[in-house]
Amino acid sequence: MTADCEVILTEELHRIAPDVAIADIDRTADLREEFDIDSIDFLNLVSALGQRLGLEMPEADYPEFHSFDALSAYLQKKM
């Protein structure tokens, strides 16, 4: 299941930041900085992940999405 979450997260991030290679990022660093995404892109990412996975991702949980690894773990926990 972890691999599935990472694949989906990678695909959605690639849609938003197509020039950033996942292999080149620090998976524990700030997600927005690593992918150079603004708040609208971040909301689009959260919305796309929620729709694709059929998950509720309330705004109160957004602080948990601070890095690639943290967001991947959150998705795995919710599925």
| The predicted structure's pLDDT at residue 79 | 85
Going from the N-terminus, what domains does the chain have, and what CATH number goes with each? 2-78 (1.10.1200.10)
| The predicted structure's pLDDT at residue 22 | 86
Dump pLDDT digits (tens) for 2-57. 568 899 999 999 999 999 888 889 999 999 999 999 999 999 999 999 999 999 99
Report whether pLDDT(1) > 60. no
pTM value? 0.89
Tokens of 64: 């948990």
Q: What is the DSSP string of 23-60?
A: GGS-TTS-HHHHHT--HHHHHHHHHHHHHHHT----GG
Longest CA span, the chain: 30
